[in-house]
């Protein structure tokens, strides 16, 4: 396991920056990819957003002050980049974010990288109906298996609020799955 403080220091130092960035990418790319993929659903879009996330991290590392864990800071950037991507795509198509998410879910089976069955597809459809915050909390807790404390740091909200959001999301997903 890498020591975040040393990695941050190396990222901020010109002669160690390139090697430190390679370590950062190799260490965190998979976890960040799956967070992004949980939002944008499409593999190619997730790759694009991941690349933009790492560019933003690289450009803004000097602004990281260590108030949170490096991973939490990067996760927040990845989440914001993915949400911005959804908003931009929806705007380009002249539809709402929710309509765009529903379109993504309906196209999920055509994605060659989607390995789910009908149950997984139905689960993704249920998640797409959730409000944005509940969707984020559900994905982070259920798929990424993050602790409430980690999610709290990433989303900058209380643990109690997260527990309530997750509980509501689970109830809504269960209800959706029962109705069909």
Tell me how far apart the alpha carbons of residues 138 and 128 are, in angstroms, rounded to a whole number.
11
Domains of the chain: 1-115 (1.10.1740.10), 116-180 (1.10.10.10)
pLDDT average, residue stretch 83-106:
80
pTM: 0.78
Contact partners, residue 38, CB within 8 Å, separation at least 6: 139, 143, 144
- Residue of higher predicted confidence among 100 and 83: 83
Phi, then psi, of 18 in degrees rounded to 5: -60, -45
- Classify residue 113 by burial, with Cβ atoms within 10 Å: 0-12, 13-18, 19+: exposed
List pLDDT tens digits, range 122-176: 888 888 888 889 999 999 999 889 999 999 999 889 999 999 999 999 999 999 8
Which two three-digit tokens encode residue 173? 């997903």
Between CA 84 and CA 40 the distance in angstroms is 10
């Amino acid at each position: 396991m890498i020591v975040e403080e040393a990695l941050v220091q190396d990222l901020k130092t010109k002669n160690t920056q390139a090697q430190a960035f390679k370590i950062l990418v190799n260490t965190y790319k998979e976890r960040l990819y799956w967070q992004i993929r949980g939002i944008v659903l499409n593999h190619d879009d997730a790759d694009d957003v991941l690349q933009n996330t790492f560019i933003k991290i690289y450009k803004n590392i000097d602004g990281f002050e260590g108030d949170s864990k490096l991973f939490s800071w990067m996760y927040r950037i990845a989440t914001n980049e993915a949400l911005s991507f959804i908003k931009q795509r929806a705007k380009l198509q002249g539809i709402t974010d929710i309509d765009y998410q529903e379109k993504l879910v309906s196209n999920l089976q055509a994605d060659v990288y989607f390995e789910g069955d009908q149950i997984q597809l139905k689960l993704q459809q249920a998640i797409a109906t959730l409000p944005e915050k509940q969707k984020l909390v559900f994905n982070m807790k259920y798929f990424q298996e993050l602790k409430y404390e980690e999610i709290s740091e990433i989303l900058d909200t209380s643990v109690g609020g997260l527990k309530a959001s997750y509980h509501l999301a689970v109830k809504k997903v269960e209800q959706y799955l029962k109705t069909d």
